[in-house]
Amino acid sequence: MSLVKLSYTEFEGTARHWEIDQATFSDINLIVGKNSSGKSKLMSVFATLTRLLSGQQQQLPFEPSSFLIELELNAQVFIYQLVLKEGSVIGEQLTIDGEEKLVRGDEGAGKIRYEKEGRFLDFQLPLTVLAAVNRLDKIQHPFLMELHQWAKGVALYLFGSDFGKSQVMGITEAEVFFRNPAHPVFDDPNNLVAVYTSASSQFGEVFDHAIIADMNALGYSLTDVGSENIQTIINFPIAALVMFTVEEDLGFKNPQMHMSQGMFRALALVVHLNICAFSKKKQVILVDDIGEGLDYERATAIINLLISKAKTYGLQLIMTSNDRFVMNEVPLEYWSVLKRKGGIVKLFNAQNASKQFNDFKYLGLNNFDFFASDLFEAEVEND
């Protein structure tokens, strides 16, 4: 497990105050909640922090906000806090197993532990940059490298989006990119054709076989998958690289823009999951609105696939949904019920609300009834 706990506040002390109150996580998590309860916001908050810590996002959020995360990394407990206001850092701190490693105030000045020297040294940085990113040093600050690598290993997939179904890759762009024998694997959830093609060229046929096997497990009987110039498949006005599949009962190459939205979403998620498995560079998978647009059989199958992949490859899995099919398929032990009162959002799961979870088991109802119940209302009202 990596992410243990997350707290977040924004616009504290104002009418716009919004807060995630100490959300706790396990290895596999399904976050359920009514519309506007804060599911997608929670995922966005977490993804924003990891993009900042990985260096993928340079611009700091402008709204006054505070992030606090607790992580388990290499058998150590990392606690990182970041406080922002008007695009500037006004507070930053990192402790590991209770020992302070980094602290910084609102003037940009701070101190950081130099491991090789065995002491703290002062530093001064611009207010618009994170010390956790701009002080990376494998020798003196290896703890920051661990935090940085973890953040790079977080992937967010918006299942309700089109995953780049309408996006193709120009032939000239593709030739330039793939001419480089050491080209990196694409990491863009909205450009599936580039992501797939770069991964397939690195991992070979075994990668395609894994995708086909997973799609077959979801009920899509594929015999082939790949990417190709669309003009070799259908009459199209421009030369462009697209993904295609061959279904057993059809027997021809079907380009991505002709696939159903449900099938393309499933294919995109399967491709990304296998990249996570083959590259071994991802540790945390976030999937927002899992099952959106799929029928019962496909929704439940994709849930089972996600959980199986997470267990097999040691990934932490965090999903959100308010889909009845999904809720009834995922065991309650993986659930977190999101409740919001005003701007305060609380997460209830078997870790922090064991009595409610255990009591429900004896009622003989299905999981959706648990979601619709008022078992946690008293706790929310008391806050």
- Kindly state the average pLDDT of the residues 37-49: 92
**What mean pLDDT is reported for the chain?**
89
For 137, which DSSP code? Answer: B
The answer to whether 120 and 71 have CB atoms below 8 angstroms apart is: no
Task: Flag whether pLDDT at 218 surpasses 70.
Answer: yes
CA distance 76 to 84: 26
CA distance 11 to 19: 9
Which residue reads 């402008």 in tokens? Answer: 62
Share of the chain above pLDDT 70, in %: 94
| Short-list 105, 111, 112, CA closest to 142 | 112
* Most confident segment among 181-185, 212-216, 275-279: 212-216
- Domain 3-153+283-381 CATH assignment equals 3.30.70: no
142-176 exposure pattern, b = at least 16 Cβ within 10 A, e = fewer: ebbebbbebbbbbbbbbbeeebbbebbbeeeebee
- Kindly state the average pLDDT of the residues 209-223: 95
- Kindly state the average pLDDT of the residues 354-382: 70
144-155 confidence digits (pLDDT tens): 999 999 999 999
CA distance 158 to 292: 10
7-16, 24-33, 359-368 — which is least confidently predicted?
359-368
Task: Flag whether pLDDT at 180 surpasses 80.
Answer: no
108-112, 130-134, 151-155, 177-181 — which is least confidently predicted?
177-181
Comma-separated ranges of CATH 3.40.50 domains in the chain: 3-153+283-381
- Kindly state the average pLDDT of the residues 360-375: 72
The pLDDT of residue 379 is: 59
Task: Flag whether pLDDT at 378 surpasses 70.
Answer: no
The answer to whether 148 and 53 have CB atoms below 8 angstroms apart is: yes
Task: Flag whether pLDDT at 130 surpasses 90.
Answer: yes
Sequence letter at residue 282: K
- Kindly state the average pLDDT of the residues 126-155: 95
The pLDDT of residue 354 is: 83
Quickly state the pLDDT bin for 325 (edges 50, 70, 90).
confident
Task: Flag whether pLDDT at 175 surpasses 90.
Answer: no
The pLDDT of residue 364 is: 64
Task: Flag whether pLDDT at 370 surpasses 80.
Answer: no
Quickly state the pLDDT bin for 183 (edges 50, 70, 90).
low
Task: Flag whether pLDDT at 381 surpasses 60.
Answer: no
CA distance 187 to 194: 9
105-109, 146-150, 361-365 — which is least confidently predicted?
361-365
22-26, 226-230, 268-272, 359-363 — which is least confidently predicted?
359-363
The pLDDT of residue 33 is: 84
